[in-house]
Every structure is written in C-alpha cells, then in structure tokens.
Structure 1
C-alpha cells in the first residue's frame, strides 16, 4: 500500500495480512523444507516482503523482478539481507546451476511464455534443485469465463492451470513433479478470496478472523480436484 507522508511516498506491504498469500507462502515453505544453507531464488519478488522472510530461513536469497518500482520498494525493505536484480524471467542473467531452490508466489501465470520462464529456471537450478510455486487455477465449477476474463484483464494473467496440463508443462521444461495441491478450494476459503478481490482493504482488517477459519476449512475440505490456486513442488532433472 502506498501513501504520502511529509510529501514523500511511503510503501507498507500488506502481504502478511492477505489470506491467500499467507496460505500460499506457508504451503511453499513446507514444500521447500529449507535447512538453512541453501541458495534460493525468489521469482518476481515484487516488494520483497516474502524475500525478506525467506532470508531468515536460507543461506542466501536473491530476488528478481522486472518492475523497477517494485524493486525500489524491495530495496527499501531489504536492509542488506538479500540480493536484488532487475531482469526478465524469460532471460535470466545467472550462470547455469547457481541455485539450490527457486520459489514463486503466483507469478508464472503472468509470464507470457511460461515454458520459456520454466526452462530458464531449470537452467539456473542445480540438478535435483527444488522449484516451488503457486499459480492461478480458477477451476472451481462456479467460476465463469467472464470471471476469468475480468481477472485476467485486471492482473495481466496469460494462463490458467490444472493438474494434468501443469505437470506436462513442467516435465517438458525439465522437471519431475513431486507434489501438487489445490488451494482456496473449500467454500469458505473461496468466498473469502472472492471478497478479497472485491474489497482488499476490508479483507486486511478481517484477516485475524478469516485466516484461521480458512485454514480449518481447507484442512477438512474433501475437494481435491479444483480451486482458485494451485501449489506445486518439482525437482530439476
């Protein structure tokens, strides 16, 4: 969130009060199972909020983003805890086999050529390196094409993912899929997410109440076939 203070623009990250993002991050951290020595790449790191949290769990963290304004926000948040680079995900400026793991929170769907981006991530990961990501699925039966089109136009989304197609894409790019799961799949969590899209500021205020309820709802949901999001873990071949 941006606001003016003493004629200066001040950025406050509210990712920590976002039900979806918190759920995605916690799932991916569980998939990563970091031991404290790994070199991790944060894909399209945005304002650096999650990068800064990763810095306490890994040996070294490098974040990159194409958006210069977001990188400026990340640099202000950084405090020297992690590296930052401005670059395009389709053409990464790193040498081969540089990272033990890569993480991306809802970024792949925003890359026009998702296969090229995944291939680049495979190139810079060491053999056996982990790739963990969340992606947009929007596959619940009550989500219409109009809903998807509206979301895609607002957030520049090029792709939607389901288990089968995503697994095929990952294998083509040089990864073995370890596990995947749908998120925001329960009626309550899906409803909270829809309201977040419509009224984000209100959702931040309600976060202390909605987050634990959504976690419980997801835990007991029997739906394993669809959701608003997908999380996956894959290993570089």
Structure 2
C-alpha cells in the first residue's frame, strides 16, 4: 500500500511539478493574509522552516523584520526559481527532513500534506514537522478542503488537471499531435487528497505533543495552527 502511494506521488505530484514549475510559479506570487499574519506575530529572531516552499513566495514575504525563513521542497525546478531570488533553499522530502530535532521556532506547511497519497504518509509528514519544531513553537498547515464552492469532488482522492500553457513550456520539443491553435501544450493530472471538515484536526490530535490553537477555513482550505507542548 505504501509503495503504491509513493508511486502515485512520484508520477502525479513530483514529476508534474517539475514539468509545470515555470507556469505554476507565475501564478504564485502573493502571500495569503492569514499566513502573513502568522509570520508577523512571530518574535524577532525566530527561525522558520517553510516545508514545501515552492518558489519561495513566503521566504521573501516582508512581514516581520528579524525573522529568518529557510525553505525546502521536492521540486528542483521550483527551487531553482527560489534560488534565483536569493532565497536559501534545500531539496528534501517532507517524510525525511534533514534537520535536527527541535530546531525551528515555527513551521509552515502550505498546500503540501494533501499531496500525500495515504493516511499513514500524511500522518508521518506531520510527525516530521512536529519533530523539527521546538517546544512552544508553532506550525501552520493548509490543505485543500472537500467543501469548496468553485470545485465539486466525487471522492476525496482525486486527480486535478493542470493545463500547461505553451508560453510556459520549457521543454525543447512539444507533442506534435497537439492542436497548434490551442494555447495549451499539455494537461497534467495532479494527485490530491481533499480533506473533509474535521479530518485535519483529527489527524493532528492523533500526534503526541501537538496542541491545536486555531482551526479555520480559508481560501477553500482547511487550516490549523498548532503548538508543540513538549
């Protein structure tokens, strides 16, 4: 089961984001207010991990002087964009983070956990976030909600299309069978587990030493702020 989930993630998450990175980054440039508020409330001198940082839009978020954000992601192409903006980033897997225990004052996990293809792997990913978080440190997690106004889902485990526009396709050769009049060069299918109301809360409550501070809905996501209590 675990190997099957890992294969889904390889084919429909990691490889997809490597291929659509330039286009995806073009659509991700403005920090969401609630996440900016979370960063702004951190004490000066805080050391923050942005796990799944993508192009680094939160690393460069100018909301709190004296807060240092270190980013990591599985997608090398997105990290190259982050590096081009002079952000300090690292290629790594959320399930096996190369950081010491208790070393970050805060952790961001924005639109990451919903890409893990089994409940056990989602739990393990959050356990890794908790491991690297210092006692009394806070984490914020955003995942896609099943209860969305713009999208309707028939099940919780879904493939969501991404239509890659030709202008953002950096591959040297394009599929010659595609309609040359179309603005799209390829459609990719991204895997998501969309969370029902209360599901993320139940998952975090099952992990020792995490205490939920806030539980809310924002931008079609279920969101939680939790604190490490020991």
Map 1:212-231 onto structure 2 (within 5 A): 228-231=220-223
| Alpha-carbon offset, residue 173 of structure 1 | 2.2
Question: CA–CA distance in 2 between the matches of 1:61 and 1:94?
Answer: 14
Q: Tell whether 2:18 aligns with 1:16.
A: no
Which residue matches 2:8?
none
Q: Tell whether 2:198 aligns with 1:164.
A: yes
Partners of 1:130 and 1:235 within 8 A in 2: yes
Question: CA–CA distance in 2 between the matches of 1:143 and 1:86?
Answer: 33
Q: TM-score, normalised by structure 1?
A: 0.65
Q: Tell whether 2:190 aligns with 1:155.
A: yes
Q: Tell whether 2:25 aligns with 1:26.
A: no
Which residue matches 1:143?
152
Q: Tell whether 2:215 aligns with 1:180.
A: yes
| RMSD after superposition | 2.8
Q: Tell whether 2:93 aligns with 1:94.
A: no
Question: CA–CA distance in 2 between the matches of 1:146 and 1:119?
Answer: 26
Map 1:3-152 onto structure 2 (within 5 A): 13-16=26-29, 22=31, 25-32=32-39, 33-53=41-61, 57-78=65-86, 82-112=87-117, 113-140=121-148, 143-145=152-154, 149-151=158-160
Inter-CA distance 140–161: structure 2 relative to 1 (3 Å threshold): same
Inter-CA distance 129–147: structure 2 relative to 1 (3 Å threshold): closer
Inter-CA distance 101–148: structure 2 relative to 1 (3 Å threshold): same
Question: CA–CA distance in 2 between the matches of 1:14 and 1:144?
Answer: 23
Q: TM-score, normalised by structure 2?
A: 0.67
Residue 61 of structure 1: SS of its match in structure 2?
strand
Which residue matches 2:227?
235
Aligned residues: 176
| Alpha-carbon offset, residue 12 of structure 1 | 6.5
Question: CA–CA distance in 1 between the matches of 2:190 and 2:202?
Answer: 25
Structure 1: stretches of 5+ with no match in the other structure: 1-8, 185-227
| Alpha-carbon offset, residue 55 of structure 1 | 8.1
Question: CA–CA distance in 2 between the matches of 1:57 and 1:105?
Answer: 21
Question: CA–CA distance in 2 between the matches of 1:10 and 1:140?
Answer: 24
Partners of 2:42 and 2:67 within 8 A in 1: no
* Greater percentage in strand: 2
Structure 2: stretches of 5+ with no match in the other structure: 1-21, 162-187
